[in-house]
Amino acid sequence: MDTSAAQGQVHEQIRVRLAAVMGADAAELGRIAEEAALRLHESGQEPDFEVRSADFATDPFFVCADRYWRRRFAGSPSSDTALACARWIAVHTAAGCRSTVREQWTLGNGFINRSHLETREQLDEAARHIAGTPEAADLALTALLYHAGKLRANFAFDDLNALLTTSALATTAGSHRDDPVILALRSFAAFGSRALTTEHARELLDRAWTSPHPSRHVVDVCLNGLAFSVPFDGQGELLRTLAQEAVDTYPDHHMFRFRLATAHHLCADHEQALTHVDAALAMLARHGAFSRELLLEQYLVKRDAIQEARLRAAREAEHEARWRRQDAANADLERAMHRSSVRAVELVAVFTSAIAFAVGSLQVTLSGTLKLRERLWMLTALGAWLTVFALLIVGGTWLITRGRSRR
């Protein structure tokens, strides 16, 4: 049997086996797809079937192709592999899922191979290699997204912005530079960069977010940029609004639930943040994502941060309540002392008037030759003046202290 016939037989066996697990549970489907991908990779053959969806849960052909290209990228994490992947996508994927498959494989494998970064010269050489070919724009887009995925995973914001705006790959990509995924990546770079403004980042975000039918990856990159942005006023509220929209659209997606938890954490709504991060952890356990361990660590770190912030907020609330009680007690004591001092002044005025009246009345009574009627008039006048004096003291004290009492 010649080589081509043997290869054809291998591909036919793989197609039959993958078709047999259509509708199987995710674990069985993934196991068979992984075995088929390994067989293809070890034999040096690319998958020879059409991918009609980007569904990890139900499409064994997509899962097999995904595992195959993951091995190819791991073995040679370069733009050459990205270009080979782009050519395969152009031939072996249905038009309806082509963009989604490209975004999944470029950004995902970029994240996995983030430690292998090519130089600007190597990327420019790749752009020159494909320039002038009919499929140059699509090939450049795939290579551009793959390297952008690496820079995004490394949070190299300024390098990412330069790649997407001034590189030869970006120029060769042509009109694809206005694709929602490119706009989302540019907003991610702008939010994280200290050389670009928040207004510019938000403009790019709005263009990507409001594009017709933004893909899941576009939504993910937009939320990712907001979550890791240089802090700005309204960041938490904006992230909360958009993350809630994403959760409403993709209710079973653990990453969007995690972004919503991050948003509530930024808004100091710790109870809601804890609820959503726990939901994200539960979803992650059910879905069994490829990078589960990395995501699990990230989610647990965020959960610890939320718990710490929650406890700190509770302690601060307790301290604030204690200070308020102490302030109220101090105010009550101040008012009591104030009232006591006012009463003391009034009492002194009254006693002073009484003593003065007593001394004056004795002098009038025990001395002099005045008649009784005259002495009575003098005592009455003295008492009246002393009463007026006491009233003036009490009234003046009340007027002086009235404003302070109100405060």
- In tens, the pLDDT along 359-386 reads 555 555 555 565 666 656 666 776 676 6
pLDDT digits (tens, 9 = 90+) for 249-293: 999 999 999 999 999 999 999 999 999 999 999 998 887 656 678
For 368, phi and psi rounded to 5 degrees? Answer: 90, 175
Task: Please give the average per-residue pLDDT across 175-193, as a whole number.
Answer: 97
From its phi and psi, is residue 189 left (phi > 0), alpha (psi between -120 and 50) or beta? alpha
Per-residue pLDDT at 1: 46
- The answer to whether residue 3 scores a pLDDT higher than 80 is no
Kindly report the length of the chain: 407
Give the closest residue to 112 by CA, choosing from 83, 69, 160: 69
Residues 285, 261: contact at Cβ < 8 Å? no
- Give the pLDDT confidence score for residue 101 in this predicted structure: 97
Q: Is 357 left (phi over 0), alpha (psi -120 to 50) or beta?
A: alpha
**With bands split at pLDDT 50, 70 and 90, how would you rate the model's confidence at 92?**
very high
For the entire predicted model, the pTM comes to 0.78
Q: Give DSSP secondary structure letters for 190-236.
A: HHH-SSS-HHHHHHHHHHHHTSSS--HHHHHHHHHHHHTSPP-TTHH
- From CA 181, how far away is CA 203, in angstroms rounded? 14
Largest CA-CA distance found in the chain, in angstroms, rounded: 158
Residue 363: its pLDDT value, please?
Answer: 57
Of 22-36, 130-144, 331-345, the poorest mean pLDDT is in 331-345
Angle of helix 235-249 relative to helix 216-227, nearest 10 degrees, comes to 160
SS3 115: coil
Q: 263 near 239, Cβ under 8 Å?
A: yes
Token output for 204 = 């790019």
Q: Which two tokens stand for residue 101?
A: 């498959």
- Tell me which residue of 205, 117, 110, 221 sits closest to 159, measured CA to CA: 117
Amino acid at 255: M
SS3 292: helix
Report d(CA 395, CA 407) in Å as an integer.
Answer: 19
Residues 197-249 pLDDT 10s: 999 999 999 999 999 989 999 999 999 999 999 999 999 999 999 999 999 99
Task: Kindly provide the b/e burial profile for residues 124-133, where b requires at least 16 CB atoms within 10 angstroms of the residue's own CB.
Answer: bebbebbeee
User: How much is the pLDDT for 331?
Assistant: 72
Q: Looking at the DSSP assignment, which residues form a beta bridge with residue 93?
A: 51
Geometric angle at alpha carbon 112, from 110 and 116, rounded to 5°? 70
pLDDT score for 285: 84
